[in-house]
Amino acid sequence: MSVGFYRQTPLRANEMKESEQRQAAAALESELGRPPRAVTGWPIVVELIAPRRKGTAVNAVVSPHPWEKPELLNATPRAQLSEQLENDRRSGKQAAVLQKLAEWWLNQTRDGHLRRQLDERSLRKLREIPGISWEMADRICLFALGAAIAPVGRAALRIGCRHGWGELESDREEWQHWLQQWAAAVPLELSQLVAWIDQVGERWCGPRPKCDGCPLSAFLPPGGPREPEGSG
Ligand code: SF4
């Protein structure tokens, strides 16, 4: 996959040593395991944008779901799509953005084949879709297309800053480079590393870190997690 979108610059703070990258990945794997390889392709886009809510009943079953295929989704009137999403415990408000994404996805398809190789233009068009954050665009590229683009979210920033592996002032490309380098050093699929980072963020490394029991606690700097101003 093209990684031409990256400026290959290291983070300004202490770089993670290769041995630390391997050990931290081993600790993550031992605690979190390696879930079966994520499904790639259009269904992941729907799961990222309009995940099913937990704990509420499905009102009506529509088969096939219009969001299962981008062509079908685009051909469904928006109000109807919104209602069907709600019936499937998904946010109907996401109908508009899903249709824009379906359009983008179809433009990535030629002669029935999806072009997984992204160029700067198609990446820019994805990032320009209203309602799609830069991070979400990168998530779509990584998890749906398999492009080696690292989404940088709150979890990565918190973990990186608290361990001194990066600084808040570092720019997005520097953070992406940190994640890419870590995955390459192990070696590990970037999507696996990002999935682990997300899980650590969800379970332990939220606004207030719960370091006891966290698989990364052995890699904290002396004195415990650093808390740069504005990182919460
Ligand atoms: S050890 Fe603490 S600071 Fe480090 S990732 Fe876990 S919760 Fe966050």
Which CATH number is 42-145 given? 1.10.340
What is the residue with the minimal CA distance to atom 2 of ligand 1?
211
Q: Give 160-181 pLDDT, tens digit per residue.
A: 999 999 888 889 999 999 999 9
**179's tokens:** 């994640």
Question: 162: Cβ below 6 Å to ligand 1?
Answer: yes
Instruction: Write the Ramachandran bin of 231: left for phi over 0, alpha for psi from -120 to 50, otherwise beta.
Output: alpha
Mean pLDDT for the chain overall: 86
Residues of the chain with CATH 1.10.340: 42-145
Stretch 130-146: mean pLDDT, rounded? 94
Whether 225 is in the pocket of ligand 1, judged by its Cβ within 6 Å, is yes
Of 182, 217, 226, the one to substitute when testing ligand 1's pocket (max ligand atoms within 8 A of C-beta) is 217
Q: Please tell me the predicted confidence (pLDDT) of residue 209.
A: 96
- Where are the domain boundaries for CATH 1.10.1670 in the chain? 18-37+150-219
Q: Tell me the H-state helices in 15-94.
A: 18-32, 42-49, 70-75, 78-87
**Closest CA to ligand 1's atom 8:** 205
Q: How far is CA 228 from CA 7, 169, 203, 218, 225, in A?
A: 24, 10, 20, 20, 10
Output 43 or 112, whichever has higher pLDDT: 43
pLDDT category at 7 given cuts 50, 70, 90 is: very low
The atom of ligand 1 lying closest to the CA of 210 is: 7
Task: Check pocket membership of 231 for ligand 1, CB cut-off 6 A.
Answer: no
Nearest of 152, 110, 161 to residue 134 by alpha carbon: 152
Please indicate whether residue 214, judged by its CB atom, sits closer than 6 Å to ligand 1: yes
Among the ranges given (26-30, 69-73, 165-169, 209-213), the one the predictor scored with the smallest mean pLDDT: 165-169
* Residue 47 backbone dihedrals phi, psi, to 5 degrees: -65, -35
Distance 179 CA to ligand 1 centre (A): 16
pLDDT in tens, 70-93: 999 999 999 999 999 999 999 999
Architecture of the structural domain at 18-37+150-219 = Orthogonal Bundle (1.10)
Say if CB 135 and CB 151 are below 8 A apart.
yes
Q: What is the pLDDT of residue 6?
A: 40
Q: What percent of the chain has pLDDT over 70?
A: 84
Residue 39 has what pLDDT? 59
From ligand 1's centre to the CA of 32, what distance in Å?
A: 14
In this prediction, residues 195-224 reach a mean pLDDT of 96
- Give the model's pLDDT for residue 66: 83
pLDDT at site 63: 65
